[in-house]
């Protein structure tokens, strides 16, 4: 996560060239955290075919709903060549050819993402995809990503698709199912709203642009262009536009409210001939302190304010909106950000004339609720230490009712997908059950992984926004007991264990001073005695073999050291932001790298001396042999290097010409060398490789269906006790995978297709839904403090992880 620059190479022994690495069949599955773990910003049901629905996320790709309420991931084939596809800014399901689905993909519109955005399209419900590159960027992880949908298919002639762009790029149209695109020159409103024009962070300085496109399906006939199209624009003065001639000309909808708000959703109720619009004073998903809900009668041109609350009860904007197509006049709306005491959902059966609320105050602080929560599929969501222990949610921009089943509903939050199958009980005064229904969605960003030498722990993870977990079972959802507590950070950035006392852990994260210790393999934790007295923040932490010394390379105050839980002191002999680890066997030895320089300490981290110069320009990771003192490995963008003399000199390992994160784990044979897994480039191919003979030869262990997104962001651990099992997870937002060699592999995949609007060339990429894969995921703290940590993680840390 910390970037390290390096320069020229100086090595003890020159590398020799390796032949092309063969492939080995691996079966990949998600480690089950359970239930999402990140922001689900869009859910869409197909309006004409029962059972077809899709969910989109800001950094974790997209998913298709299965009949058993599980979800299938659709973008696991994404690799380093197209990593920005994991940010999905809009999704559309075809109402005529219901096998068709399209997505607008791209992560950032600022300099963090150098890639232009793309439209992905599929004719088999996401099993395979073709891509069209656009001449501008798309911001699936930018402000306003819960607005939408920005992508819309004409319900009467499905070769026509509209897309509303960000950054002042306006409205775009395709007439060939999304293969090529042209700007709609007659639509001149590009949006004026910028979240924070004076912010030093460019993330908040871009134009949010067009928020949604909604066709009035009742205005046309099958086989002809739909005449009436509404477009909502992130503009607080002139936001709702309409065309009555199929997009040839546009005008502002007359009489629209002028309340200085932004339109988040524009949802049509065909039987009522009404357009419902939710407004908030911010782009979301974190902000929004005021808002409104309006309905527009298309036939009469009448606007009606149907905002559910007023006065002091209105302290939030509105996001998700749902129409029950089987029950005209039955609608629902979600408070976008009612942070306290928790989120709010409203329901009306008379088109908004009156509303009932998911909960009501009785005698403060008590509330009566129209629901009970069921997080059995993601039990960590129910944390007794939180208040409330199981929140209805926040950041609620996605809210839908199944068009074929009035009892079936879903909504997205900052943590998961909730919903249920007894919704109409709400109207009779009965209690409904709200369940976590994100089984199959693993959307966490992984910042560190350890496979320690412990009988009861298979894996330890540090996770963006949801702290981290002890994984004693890889296929069982985590509970709140499995999560790091006391203290519980919003985000854990780095983990380490003591090599000779492997039940002793240290972790750092969250805000300044957050450092915690465990002496029982993560079963319980305590704050470091000096945690509150240090201003150190995030970074990388190392633990000496005997668990008596911590060296912490912070992101803000340099490299610091604590002995026997005493006060921290600065290590002046190391540059700031150096990468640090401890020798697993020799308690006196620590290693570090900064730039192209490698450092060693022989006095338990008190002082460091430069000993060698590594090849390449970026240092990624250092790993110490778990069983032999002085045997240390380092990876850079120039390859993989090994020292057997405490880092005095290094030999470049054959094969990798570039290497990011890697690890050592259980050997193939008793007494053999530790197995190595590395994200590396070998023979010109960037992939995940394993070596069983100290890097003499390598096999590739992923295939075209498992791309793992950005190679640089992936964290890797090799199982300490089970040969061949490899763990991989990263800032790509798809949680943690574990792979094992043998039968049941994920498959061979097919080719990819990329089409540029100016020069078509085509490819098709197969989705990862062919590999056997089990679900579940994690969540974050339900308080306002979480808001900022989630915000920071999703736009800053994720980018750094991708580019570390």
CB neighbours of residue 789 within 10 Å: 22
CA–CA separation, 129 and 111 (whole Å)? 27
Count the residues in the chain: 804
Predicted TM-score (pTM) of this structure: 0.91
Rounded Cα gap, residues 409 and 399, in angstroms: 8
**Gap between the Cα atoms of 467 and 490, Å rounded:** 5
Contacts of 398 (CB under 8 A, 6+ apart): 40, 41, 42, 43, 55, 146, 320, 410, 411, 412, 417
* 158 half-sphere exposure, CB direction, 13 A CA radius: 15
Question: How far is residue 120's CA from residue 131's CA, in Å, rounded to a whole number?
Answer: 4
What was the pLDDT predicted at 745? Answer: 64
- Beta strands 501-509 and 240-243: pairing type? unpaired
- Going along 336-452, which residue ranges are E strands? 345-348, 356-357, 359-361, 367-369, 371-374, 398-401, 409-412, 417-420, 432-436, 446-450
Residue 744's pLDDT is 62
C-beta of residue 456 within 8 angstroms of C-beta of residue 521 = yes
Q: CB–CB of 379/469 below 8 Å?
A: no
3-state secondary structure of 796: helix
- Asked if 398 and 42 touch (Cβ cutoff 8 Å), the reply is yes
Going from the C-alpha of 395 to that of each of 42, 317, 383, 610, the distances in angstroms are 11, 10, 19, 48
Neighbours of 555 (CB within 10 A): 18
| Mean pLDDT (whole number) for 606-623 | 95
pLDDT at 788 over 80: no
Helix (H), strand (E) at residue 73: strand 71-73
Annotation marks residue 206 as catalytic: no
What is residue 290's DSSP assignment?
-
* H or E stretch at 151: strand 151-153
Our answer to whether residue 465 is catalytic in this structure is yes
Model confidence band, residue 791 (pLDDT cutoffs 50, 70, 90): very low
Q: What is the pLDDT of residues 338-353, one digit of tens each?
A: 988 999 999 999 999 9
Instruction: Note whether residue 359 is domain-resident.
Output: no
Q: Which residues contact 347 (CB under 8 A, 6 or more apart)?
A: 330, 331, 332, 355, 356, 358, 426, 427
Beta strand residue intervals within 229-290, DSSP E: 229-233, 240-243, 251-252, 262-269, 274-280
Report the pLDDT averaged over residues 288-302.
97
Note whether residue 563 is domain-resident: yes
Tokens of 235: 């503009």
CA pair distance 113, 134, nearest whole angstrom:
14
Give the range of the structural domain holding residue 787, as residue numbers without chain letter: 443-742+751-802
Nearest Cα to Cα of residue 711 among 229, 79, 112, 183: 79
**Average pLDDT value for residue range 625-653:** 97
**Residue 205, class by beta-carbon neighbours within 10 Å (0-12 exposed, 13-18 middle, 19+ buried)?**
middle
* Per-residue pLDDT at 670: 92
Cα 592 from Cα 596, distance rounded (Å): 11
Q: What one-character DSSP code corresponds to residue 653?
A: P
Count of domains for the chain: 1
Phi/psi at 460 (nearest 5 deg)? -125, 135
Catalytic residue among 41, 58, 76, 719: 58
Token duo for residue 599: 């450092």
Share of the chain above pLDDT 90, in %: 86
Average pLDDT over residues 486-510: 95
Q: For residue 717, what pLDDT is reported?
A: 98
Q: How far apart are CA 328 and CA 272, in angstroms?
A: 7
Distances (CA, A) of 677 to 349, 474, 607, 716, 720: 57, 19, 31, 7, 12
Spell out the SS3 assignment of 326-367. Answer: CCCCCEEEEECCCCCCCCCEEEECCCCCCCEECEEECCCCCE
**Shortest CA distance to 660 belongs to which of 728, 581, 733, 558?**
728
Question: Starting at the edge strand that comes first in sequence, how are the strands of the sheet with 40-45 ordered?
Answer: 40-45, 53-57, 62-65, 71-73
**pLDDT at residue 490 tops 70:** yes
For the purposes of burial, counting CB atoms within 10 Å of the CB of 620, is it exposed (0-12), middle (13-18) or buried (19 or more)? buried
pLDDT value, residue 1: 25
In a domain? residue 456: yes
CB 74 within 8 A of CB 63: yes
| Any domain includes 47 | no
Q: Which of 465, 485, 379, 468 is nearest to 414 (CA)?
A: 465
Distance of alpha carbon 56 from its chain centroid, rounded? 10
User: Mind listing the pLDDT tens digit for each residue in 474-485?
Assistant: 999 999 999 999
pLDDT at 783: 28
**Cβ-count burial 322-334 (b if 16+ within 10 Å, e if not):** bbbbeeebbbbbb
Structure tokens at 151: 């992508």
Closest CA to 306 of 239, 261, 269, 355: 355
Residue 797 confidence (pLDDT) above 90 = no
> 616 lies in a domain?
yes
Summarize the confidence of residues 564-579 as an average pLDDT.
97
Band the pLDDT of 511: cuts 50, 70, 90.
Answer: confident
Quote the mean pLDDT of the chain: 90
Task: Find the mean pLDDT for residues 394-423.
Answer: 98
HSE on the CB side for 542, CA within 13 Å?
Answer: 28
| Residue among 706, 710, 538, 680 nearest 107 (CA) | 710
Which one from 465, 637, 778, 797 is the annotated catalytic residue? 465
Whether 641 is in a domain gets the answer yes
Average pLDDT over residues 481-510: 95
- Each residue of 135-177: pLDDT tens digit? 999 999 999 999 999 999 999 999 999 999 999 999 999 999 9
- CATH assignment at residue 623: 2.130.10.10
Residue 569 located in a structural domain: yes
pLDDT the model gives residue 14: 33
Left (φ > 0), alpha (ψ -120 to 50) or beta: where does 177 sit?
A: left
Residue 372, pLDDT above cutoff 50: yes
For residue 746, what pLDDT is reported?
Answer: 53
Predicted confidence (pLDDT) at residue 676 exceeds the cutoff of 60: yes
As beta bridge partners, residue 336 has none
pLDDT tens profile 39-76: 999 999 999 999 999 999 999 999 999 999 999 999 99
Residues facing residue 242 across a β-bridge: 230, 251
Q: List the structure tokens of 141.
A: 């992880």
| Nearest C-alpha neighbor of 601 from the set 621, 575, 579, 583 | 583
Note whether residue 765 is domain-resident: yes
* 136-to-115, 133, 139, 231, 390 alpha-carbon distances in Å: 9, 9, 10, 20, 41
């Amino acid at each position: 996560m910390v970037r390290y620059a390096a320069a020229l190479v100086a090595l003890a022994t020159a590398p020799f060239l390796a032949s092309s690495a063969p492939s080995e069949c691996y079966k990949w599955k998600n480690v089950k955290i359970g239930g999402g773990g990140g922001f689900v910003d869009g859910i869409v049901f197909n309006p004409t075919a029962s059972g077809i629905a899709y969910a989109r996320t800001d950094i974790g790709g997209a998913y298709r709903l299965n009949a058993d309420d599980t979800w299938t991931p659709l973008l696991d084939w994404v690799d380093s060549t197209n990593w920005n596809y994991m940010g999905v800014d809009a999704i559309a399901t075809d109402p005529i050819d219901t096998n068709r689905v399209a997505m607008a993909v791209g992560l950032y519109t600022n300099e963090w993402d150098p890639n232009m955005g793309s439209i992905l399209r599929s004719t088999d419900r996401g099993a395979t995809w073709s891509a069209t590159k656009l001449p501008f960027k798309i911001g699936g992880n930018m402000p306003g990503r819960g607005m939408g949908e920005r992508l819309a298919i004409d319900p009467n002639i499905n070769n026509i698709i509209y897309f509303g762009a960000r950054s002042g790029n306006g409205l775009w149209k395709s007439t060939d199912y999304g293969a090529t695109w042209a700007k709609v020159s007659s639509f001149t409103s590009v949006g004026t709203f910028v979240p924070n024009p004076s912010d030093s962070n460019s993330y908040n300085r871009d134009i949010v642009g067009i928020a949604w496109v909604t066709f009035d399906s009742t205005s046309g006939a099958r086989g002809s262009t739909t005449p009436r199209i509404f477009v909502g624009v992130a503009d607080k003065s002139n936001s709702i536009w309409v065309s009555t001639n199929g997009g040839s000309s546009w005008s502002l909808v007359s009489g629209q409210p002028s309340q200085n708000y932004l339109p988040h959703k524009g949802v049509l109720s065909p039987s009522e001939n009404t357009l419902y619009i939710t407004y908030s004073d911010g782009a979301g998903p974190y902000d929004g302190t005021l808002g409104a809900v309006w309905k527009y009668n298309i036939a009469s041109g009448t606007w009606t304010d149907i905002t559910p609350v007023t006065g002091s009860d209105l302290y939030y904007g509105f996001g998700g909106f749902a129409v029950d197509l089987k029950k005209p006049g039955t609608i629902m709306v979600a408070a976008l950000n009612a942070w306290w005491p928790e989120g709010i959902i409203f329901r009306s059966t008379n088109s908004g004339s009156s509303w009932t609320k998911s909960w009501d105050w009785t005698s403060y602080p008590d509330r009566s609720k129209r629901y009970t929560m069921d997080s059995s599929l993601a039990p960590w969501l129910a944390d007794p230490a939180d208040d409330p222990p199981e929140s209805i949610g926040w950041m609620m921009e996605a809210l839908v009712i199944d068009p074929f089943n009035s009892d079936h509903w879903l909504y997205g939050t900052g943590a998961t997908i909730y919903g249920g199958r007894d919704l109409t009980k709400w109207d009779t005064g009965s209690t409904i059950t709200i369940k976590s229904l994100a089984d199959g969605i693993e959307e966490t960003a992984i910042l560190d992984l350890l496979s320690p030498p412990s009988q009861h722990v298979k894996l330890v993870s540090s996770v963006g926004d949801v702290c981290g977990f002890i994984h004693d079972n890889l296929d069982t959802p985590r509970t709140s007991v499995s999560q790091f507590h006391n203290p519980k950070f919003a985000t854990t950035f780095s983990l380490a264990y003591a090599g000779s006392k492997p039940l002793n852990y240290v972790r750092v994260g969250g805000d300044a001073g957050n450092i915690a210790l465990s002496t029982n393999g993560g079963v319980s934790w305590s704050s470091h005695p000096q945690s509150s007295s240090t201003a150190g923040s995030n970074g990388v932490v190392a633990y000496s073999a005997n668990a008596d010394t911590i060296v912490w390379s912070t992101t803000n105050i340099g490299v610091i050291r604590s002995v026997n839980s005493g006060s921290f002191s600065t290590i002046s002999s190391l540059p700031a932001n150096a990468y640090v680890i401890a020798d697993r066997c020799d308690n006196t030895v620590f290693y570090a790298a900064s730039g192209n320089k490698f450092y060693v300490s022989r006095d338990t981290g008190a002082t460091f001396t430069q000993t060698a110069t590594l090849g390449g320009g970026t240092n990624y990771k250092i790993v110490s042999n778990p069983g032999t003192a002085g045997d240390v490995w380092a990876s850079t963008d120039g390859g993989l290097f090994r020292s057997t003399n405490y880092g005095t000199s290094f030999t470049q390992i054959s094969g990798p010409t570039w290497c990011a994160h890697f690890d050592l784990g259980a050997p193939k044979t008793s007494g053999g060398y530790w197995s190595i897994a590395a994200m590396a480039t070998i023979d010109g191919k960037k992939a995940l490789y394993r070596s069983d003979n100290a890097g003499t030869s390598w096999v590739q262990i992923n295939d075209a269906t498992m791309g793992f997104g950005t190679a640089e962001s992936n964290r890797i651990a090799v199982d300490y006790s089970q040969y061949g099992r490899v763990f991989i997870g990263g800032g790509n937002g798809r949680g943690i995978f574990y792979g094992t060699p043998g039968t049941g592999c994920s498959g061979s995949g097919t080719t990819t297709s990329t089409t540029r609007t100016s020069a078509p060339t085509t490819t098709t990429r197969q989705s990862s839904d062919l590999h056997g894969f089990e679900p579940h995921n994690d969540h974050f703290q339900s308080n306002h403090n979480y808001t900022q940590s989630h915000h920071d993680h999703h736009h800053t840390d994720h980018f750094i992880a991708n580019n570390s």
